[in-house]
């Protein structure tokens, strides 16, 4: 099975490479994977938090 590939502009790749090296990652791919995983987790946590807030407000009678 082949892994999907994502294309980025050369300038962005160069910046990613610099950041990966500064942060001690073994490759640009490792760095990008980590950054994307963190962002996906943040976004999905935000959605879950919003649902929890709505549920609590409904329980308190502030929303119907």
* pLDDT of residue 1 exceeding 70: no
Domain annotation covers residue 52: yes
Domain that includes residue 34, residue range: 10-59
Q: How many structural domains does the chain have?
A: 1
Residue 31: enclosing H or E segment and its boundaries? helix 28-59
Instruction: Specify if 5 maps to a domain.
Output: no
Residue 4 CA from chain centroid, whole number: 17
For residue 64, what pLDDT is reported? 72
Q: State the chain's mean pLDDT as an integer.
A: 87
Rg, C-alpha atoms of the chain: 19
- pTM, two decimals, is 0.68
The predicted-structure confidence for 24-43, as pLDDT tens digits, reads as follows 999 999 999 999 999 888 87
pLDDT of residue 26: 96
Query: Who wins on pLDDT, 44 or 18?
Result: 18
Per the domain annotation, does 3 fall within a domain? no
Rounded to whole angstroms, the Cα distance separating 13 from 5 reads 13
CA distance 38 to 12: 19
Residue 64 lies in a domain: no
Is 34 inside any structural domain?
yes
42 domain residue, yes or no: yes
HSE toward the beta carbon, residue 33, CA cutoff 13 A? 9
Question: Do the domain assignments include residue 17?
Answer: yes
Tell me, yes or no, whether 39 lies in a domain. yes
């Amino acid at each position: 099975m082949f892994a999907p590939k994502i294309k980025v502009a050369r300038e962005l790749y160069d910046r990613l490479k610099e950041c990966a090296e500064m942060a001690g990652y073994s490759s640009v791919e490792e760095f990008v994977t980590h950054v994307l995983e963190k962002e996906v987790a943040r976004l999905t946590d935000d959605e879950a938090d919003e649902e929890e807030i709505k549920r609590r407000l409904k329980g308190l009678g502030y929303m119907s």
